[in-house]
Amino acid sequence: MSETGIGKSVKRREDLRFITGRGRYTDDINRPNQAFAVFLRSPYPRARIVSVDPSGANEIEGIIGVFTGKDLAADKLGDLPCGWLVKSKDGSDMKVGPHPPLAVETVNYVGEPYGVVIAETLAAARDGAEVVVTEFEELEAVVALDRATKSAQIHANVPNNLCYEWALGDADATNAAFAKAAHVTKLEISNNRLIPNAMEPRAAVASYDAASQEFDLVTTSQNPHLERLILSAFVQLAPEHKLRIVAPDVGGGFGSKIFVYPEETAAAWASRRIGRPVKWTAERSESFLTDAHGRDHLTKAELALDKDGTFLGLRVKTRANLGAYLSTFASSVPTFLYGTLLAGQYRTPAIYVEVEGVYTNTAPVDAYRGAGRPEATYVVERIVETAARELKIDPVELRRRNFIPPDAFPYQTPVALEYDTGNYGASLDKALIKADYTGFAKRRADAERRGRKRGIGFSCYIEACGLAPSQLAIQLGAGVGLYESGEVRVNPTGNVTVFTGSHSHGQGHETTFAQIVSDKLGIPFENVEVVHGDTGRVEFGLGTYGSRSLAVGGSALIKATDKVIAKGKRIAAHMLDASIENVDFAEGAFSVRTSNQKLTFGEVAFAAYVPSNYPSTEEPGLSEKAFYDPKNFTFPAGTHIAEVEVDPETGAVEVVSFVAVDDFGHVINPMIVEGQVHGGIAQGIGQALMEHGVYDEAGQLVTGSYMDYCMPRADDLPNFTIDTTVTPCTHNPLGVKGCGEAGAIGAPAAIMNAVTDALGVVDIPMPATPERVWRALYRA
């Protein structure tokens, strides 16, 4: 096997530009004659806009114009849509509050943009924004999630602020399971609001060419084609063929850069309005206020067990905060990406979940790393651990007793999904060894002697990735298909340019995708270039989220590569005067089974472009495209084990060990996969112990900077112990499942199970800050 092939930890080719400062992020790009945008933002969580007086700004030198939501409305720009229609359990459609790109009549969260100042310089635009006088009439704001349905009505068409009441599962069967239960464990838990904080703030550089009527928008997007589709079909900024969107190097996304936001939209519109390029880069404060937040659930869960600890039923009721408006995929996150995962790794025969999606006067909430699946894992793994403690059964044993066994696949869960494969016991076993579970009692006693409380926590998570068969997704309400496109363009000299609809913003696709294509074609890794993130170069794409890039995007490339090989065989058969059935392709060469004749891949590629000795039935050229539509979700799963020590004096929690054993199916680049797991775990530990997006009672975001929102730093985290087990995905050509979100999905429950174990309490809300831990310790 080549040193750069599938399964090898090839060093990333992206790195050379990043470590030498030659990356090219949106804010690094400037256009001649560009102007700068600064947005006018609501200081109130809910208010009517009475008037906007720009006269002060217009007196400042360098101001080009002050525009408001009314100007965009006058240009007939449409609302920012939500791309997933969720139906309530009574069959009615979800209720969508209108979401203009810039607010027109009312503002509904602190930071919501209602206008934009465009100026010659950033400083002038800032000065201008300072002196625009806006009169607001403050309205009663809806902030507390638990009271949101009994508060003032935010959107005229949404009674009780209730977007939907969604349900999944068999209520009767679940109630019957509880009726015959020997034990019922009940848990009321919350899943804290998170603010994504990709290190690169959102940005846009928009240019409009009046002669060709073409837009060129460079922006921080995880899915430029989807953004183009929405901006043309829904917002009606420009027809699709007149709109090019480029997402160059993007400094992290974690979901927050999937969505189509007001600012990028308004900057593009403004570039046409003023006839000059317009640049906007968010300040971190703006990221805090307006990047779509994550999580924010309140949940009541009940688990029914028989006398042996066998799970009989799970009943879950969740209220999910959607924020003031439905962001691009907001509706799907607490429903189809949450309720469907409540079976976890277990054979629970009856499950019923109800979810209320609720509007509040806070920033929109949408997908953040894991998106629904961390919330589901948190419910399942916290209640399973709690049940084990109540029944005095070892939490490992209780899980093992209820695992879906390896011979039960494919396994149909009671909540819609069919798991194709898995071996949960194998991951658990390996993790127990890595974590030295048998030595825990001694470590706990040692800690006790040092005056510290030590706890251990487990999380046997599952996730559904590689979303999803398009037909199924569309039946369930998705507004788009969820396939991926790929193109393998063989150049005349035999090197290859690969185009993918996936987008890399840290995941290393330029390396991994080159590995799979070069491996498959038997050509040097260096001979394959990967192009992504440009609607002008890549045919189409759905982008990167939900750990889908390799499973879906990579599969499209395999499909296109297969087509290249098939055509190559036909050309080679002609050139070698052999029948196609007798031509093999291996290690970069076409050979004839019945003789010793051979042609290299390069020779066939050259022949395709200089077709002299060439089959008359073939078109010249060697470039193939493919769309891959997944047949099912993939189901990465694994066991995470955390050990923490609590300092009873201060309430500080130290993560002393974290073991993750994950089953991602086949692994293309182990080094990159480990890195993905590390990063996910850090975000999961951040959620469990540090991070919290907090609005005060008045609706002001009080965690609006790195001084207030506690980001995990190097000295907050331990080294992680990472390993894998492998059950290959059964339905995609690479046998891969996806690894981007596992850490963020599994870690919070593992940490909180460890913290509650150390403290001897049932629950403590995330984040388990020193204050909360200290109070929990001394409550009695």
Q: Which positions touch another protein (CB under 8 A)?
A: 11-12, 14-25, 27-28, 123, 197-201, 249-252, 254, 281, 283-285, 505-508, 671-672, 674-676, 678-683, 705-707, 711-715, 717, 719-720, 743
Q: Six-digit token pair at 740?
A: 């981007």
Minimum distance, C-beta of residue 256 to another protein, in the bound complex (Å): 10
287/423 with CB nearer another protein: 287
311/720 with CB nearer another protein: 720
281/377 with CB nearer another protein: 281
Minimum distance, C-beta of residue 720 to another protein, in the bound complex (Å): 5
Cα gap 555→362, rounded to integer Å: 39
> Residue 49: beta bridge partners?
136
Residue 504, SS3 per DSSP: coil
Cα gap 99→87, rounded to integer Å: 19
444/503 with CB nearer another protein: 503
- How far, CA to CA in Å, does 554 sit from each of 153, 199, 255, 502, 525? 46, 26, 20, 9, 16
**Is the backbone peptide bond immediately before 767 cis, with ω within 30 degrees of 0?**
yes
Minimum distance, C-beta of residue 514 to another protein, in the bound complex (Å): 16
Minimum distance, C-beta of residue 198 to another protein, in the bound complex (Å): 6
541/712 with CB nearer another protein: 712
Minimum distance, C-beta of residue 508 to another protein, in the bound complex (Å): 7
Nearest CA-CA partner of 490 in 520, 534, 512, 510: 520
507/732 with CB nearer another protein: 507
Write a three-state SS string for 523-591: CCHHHEEEECCECCCCCCCCCCCCCCHHHHHHHHHHHHHHHHHHHHHHHHHHHCCCCHHHEEEECCEEE
Nearest CA-CA partner of 94 in 155, 26, 17: 155
Minimum distance, C-beta of residue 750 to another protein, in the bound complex (Å): 14
318/504 with CB nearer another protein: 504
Minimum distance, C-beta of residue 608 to another protein, in the bound complex (Å): 33
Pairing mode of beta strands 350-359, 311-323: parallel
Q: Which residues contact 428 (CB under 8 A, 6 or more apart)?
A: 396, 399, 400, 403, 460, 639, 661
46/503 with CB nearer another protein: 503
End-to-end CA distance of the chain: 63
Pairing mode of beta strands 484-490, 453-462: unpaired
Minimum distance, C-beta of residue 533 to another protein, in the bound complex (Å): 13
Minimum distance, C-beta of residue 277 to another protein, in the bound complex (Å): 15
Nearest CA-CA partner of 291 in 740, 703, 689, 680: 703
Q: Which residues contact 220 (CB under 8 A, 6 or more apart)?
A: 25, 26, 198, 200, 201, 202, 203, 204, 247, 250, 251, 253, 257
Minimum distance, C-beta of residue 682 to another protein, in the bound complex (Å): 3
251/733 with CB nearer another protein: 251
373/509 with CB nearer another protein: 509
11/317 with CB nearer another protein: 11
Minimum distance, C-beta of residue 671 to another protein, in the bound complex (Å): 5
Nearest CA-CA partner of 237 in 206, 202, 195: 206
Residue 35 backbone phi and psi in degrees, to 5 = -110, 170
277/309 with CB nearer another protein: 277
Q: Which residues contact 779 (CB under 8 A, 6 or more apart)?
A: none
Exposure class string for 471-489: b at 16+ Cβ within 10 A, else e: ebbbebbbbbbbbbbbbbb
Q: Six-digit token pair at 211?
A: 């002669």
Minimum distance, C-beta of residue 703 to another protein, in the bound complex (Å): 12
Strands in 35-41's sheet, in edge-to-edge order, are 63-68, 113-119, 35-41, 278-281, 203-209, 214-219, 243-246
235/367 with CB nearer another protein: 367
Minimum distance, C-beta of residue 711 to another protein, in the bound complex (Å): 5
